[in-house]
Amino acid sequence: MNEERDVLRGWRLEEAASSVPPDGAAERGWDRLAAALAAGAAPRADVLAPPGRVLWPWVVVGIGLLAAALMAWVVWPESEPEPERVVIAAPVVEVMAEAPVVVPLPVRAPAPAGVAAPVVERAAPRVKREVLKPAVLEDSFAAELRRIAAAQAALRDGDTGAALRVLKEHAVLFPAGQFAQDREALRAVALCTAGRAQGKQLAAKFLAAHPGSIHADRVRDACGA
């Protein structure tokens, strides 16, 4: 078996050296991703479930709760309203499996009989606050993307003035945003394309700060740096 191990090791080494993305694939992919996200593209539903998380325990819990609710409905007298409320556990499992943002259901202690409805009503504002938090984050992310994608589109159309305006807006709104590096690269490209001397200075600064950036080649091409 030693011979096979050596052969496999050799193949692994050769494969490691050859399995690299083609030139420009990373930059092309990023442009495509930014445009898709700005347009609100969603990933395939069958790959969206949280990776590494086993969902079947939640399904089992959901089925268990459903069964408990049914048992309670059968055993308890009709005047008891609580078991019907417990049935909402089943849709919650569906939400965890499919929704893009998992919002944990607030867990509350069971209320005394007869006061269940008021407690649920008082809880509503808290649920809203927990839902709003990730939504706000997504909005700022999407807002950044929209501006970067708009700047890219303006550059493609040769409208450097429009590109610079959008990039300035991005810099004001998101000075340390997720796309700050993209913004600086695009700004250098736009200024160089417009023939402004400041572009070369920005390009030199950008390339010194981010020599391995996926935008480095584009900045060099535009600014001759």
Partner 1 sequence: MGAPETRSEPTPPLAEVYRAHHAFVWRSLLRLGLPADRVEDAVHELFLVVARRLPEFAGRSSLRTWLFAIAVRVAQSFRRDAGRERRHLARLNHEPRAGASDPYSQRDAAVVLYRLLARLSEDQRVVYILVELEGMTAPEIAGELGVKLPTVYTRLRAARAAMERAASEFCEEPRRSP
- Cβ at position 214, least distance to partner 1 in Å: 6
Rounded CA separation 191/219 (Å) = 10
**Which of 75, 208 has the CB closer to partner 1?**
208
CB nearer to partner 1: give 10 or 64: 10
CB of 34 to partner 1, least distance (A): 9
Nearer to partner 1, 207 or 214 (CB): 214
And the tokens for 119?
């407690």
Which of residues 127 and 137 has its CB atom nearest to partner 1 in the complex?
Answer: 137
Yes or no: say if 69 and 83 are a contact pair by the CB < 8 Å rule: yes
Residue 96: CB atoms within 10 A of its CB come to 19
Which residues contact partner 1 (rule: CB under 8 A)? 1, 3-5, 7-8, 10-12, 14-16, 18-21, 25-26, 28-30, 32-33, 36-37, 41-44, 46-54, 100-102, 134, 137, 141, 178-179, 181-182, 212-214
21-59 residues labelled b (16+ CB within 10 A) or e (exposed): eeeeeebeebbeebeebbeeeeeeeeeeeeeeeeeeeee
Nearest distance from C-beta of residue 64 to partner 1, angstroms: 20
Question: Which SS3 state, helix, strand or coil, does residue 112 take?
Answer: coil
